Chains A and B, each alone.
Chain A
Amino acid sequence: MNPALSYRQAFNTILKRDLKIALRHRDDIVNPLLFFIIVITLFAISVGAMPNVLMTIAPGVIWVAALLSTLLSLERLFKNDYQDGSLEQLLLSPCPVFILVLAKIVAHWLVTSLPLILLAPLLAMMMNLHPDGYLALFLTLLLGTPILSLLGAIGVALTVALKKGGVLLSLLILPLYIPVLILATAAVEAATMNSPYQGHLAIIAALFFASLITAPFAVGAALKVSTN
């Protein structure tokens, strides 16, 4: 009898596979990023030559664009695996489901959100963000986008068996995204006004850890219900 796969091995195996698939299937990386760039660019163009207006709305616009681009890419998290039958194989593997789910979510975040975070400063410059806001923007995105992926995964897991789950998915998880959005934009705004934003950041971090701990279990349970 082989020893059971250790948690770390299982995590790495899934992570590597998902990253490989994403890299071969470039759409997964390019589409959300392109959406992010287009939305922000259009805002910058349509508002026109009013640097002050841009400066005021910059944190909100950047965060809304990040949120929507995550939402767009979420469906792919489990859909393909569900359709080609590999989700069943994952659920039947000897290692606990939450490990596999966590690996898939991390892979998804690395592929969709990380490029977006790296590109954000450039777009922030286009939106004429106040120089003091850059660090806050970076930190809120770094802590906030994983929350979006984790919470979103619950919604995806619940709707994966539905033919047209897209609308339902947005309805399910947008309310859960609102607190993150409010806190993050408030933090960036506070930073641009040179007032402390550590409080906001702490709450976002708390949300991050809470969802990191609970979401994989919820996703595992939701997947079992969906494949039933």
Chain B
Amino acid sequence: MLNASNLTCIREERILFDALDLDFQPGDIWQIAGANGTGKTSLLRILAGLMEPENGEVCYQQTAIQKCAEEYHQDLLYLGHSPGVKSELTVLENLKFNLQLCSQDTEQCEKLLEQVDLFGFADTLAAHLSAGQHRRIALARLWLTQAKIWILDEPFTAIDKLGVKRLEQRILEHADQGGIVILTTHQDLSLPKSRYQTLTLERIFS
């Protein structure tokens, strides 16, 4: 469904990865691993279409993602390093905006907040919440979204143990329904080993 061919990424005159071929099929969970600075985030950004690779291309259903941006973005959910939460808005307003932007209906917002343990915080300004709670606001979308491809950059950062467990459960559920999940994390996933693949990026010395 989503594949990348011959990807090369160069940052600050250093080759991060070179001639990378990837193929993501429905039901796949991919963990991108590797030390700091090996290009995990760059790879995710290239896959999401936020960054242009030096070489190679990313195709969604056999079409280059630049050419089918609208469809691709409709089917894509990307969560970056920063959660994209506005501290001037309340939890509920943040969530509603995120959903509206992806043309999701906003009636079930309260229920979503329950999923991420933010029930009762609906009308609190995001500025008064912790980093973990910010991330939870961003993650709440995962329980409603119809996007098939999830690209999550360090989704477990600042999330407590119970939260991580629930999130992993949700990721598994999504993959079982035929979705694709691509994520980076430094922790080991507690999912069954047969259920996910790991791609380890190595540092290239040139």
Contacts and interface: CB of A to CB of B under 8 A. Distances in A.
Contacts of A17: 86, 89, 93, 97
Interface residues of B, number: 30
Most chain A CB neighbours (cut-off 10 Å) among B82, B101, B102: B101
A95 B102 CA distance: 8
Contact of B50 (A2, A21, A83, A92): A92
Say what secondary structure dominates the interface of chain B.
loop
Most chain B CB neighbours (cut-off 10 Å) among A1, A21, A84, A227: A84
B97 A228 contact: no
Contacts, number: 85
B198 interface: no
Nearest to B151: A92
Interface in B48-105: 48-52, 70, 73-74, 76, 78, 80-89, 93, 97-98, 100-105
A25 interface: yes
A86 interface: yes
Contacts of B102: 2, 5, 93-94
Interface in A92-123: 92-96
B52 A84 contact: no
A10 interface: yes
A228 B103 contact: no
Given A4-B70, A17-B97, A92-B76, A86 B50 contact: no
B146 interface: yes
B73 A228 contact: no
A84 B103 contact: no
A85 interface: yes
Contacts of A164: none
Contact of B84 (A25, A84, A96): A84
B101 A10 contact: yes
Interface residues of A, number: 29
Contact of A24 (B52, B88, B105): B88
A93 B141 CA distance: 14
Contacts of B93: 17, 20
Nearest to B126: A84
A27 B49 CA distance: 35
A84 B82 contact: yes
Given A86-B85, A89-B84, 6 more contacts: A1-B74, A84-B85, A85-B80, A85-B82, A88-B50, A89-B98
Interface of A: 1-5, 9-10, 13, 17, 20-21, 24-25, 80, 83-86, 88-96, 227-228
27 contacts: A2-B102, A2-B103, A5-B100, A13-B101, A17-B93, A24-B88, A83-B82, A84-B83, A84-B84, A84-B85, A85-B81, A85-B84, A85-B85, A86-B85, A86-B86, A88-B50, A88-B82, A88-B84, A89-B80, A89-B98, A91-B50, A93-B73, A94-B70, A94-B103, A95-B70, A96-B70, A228-B52
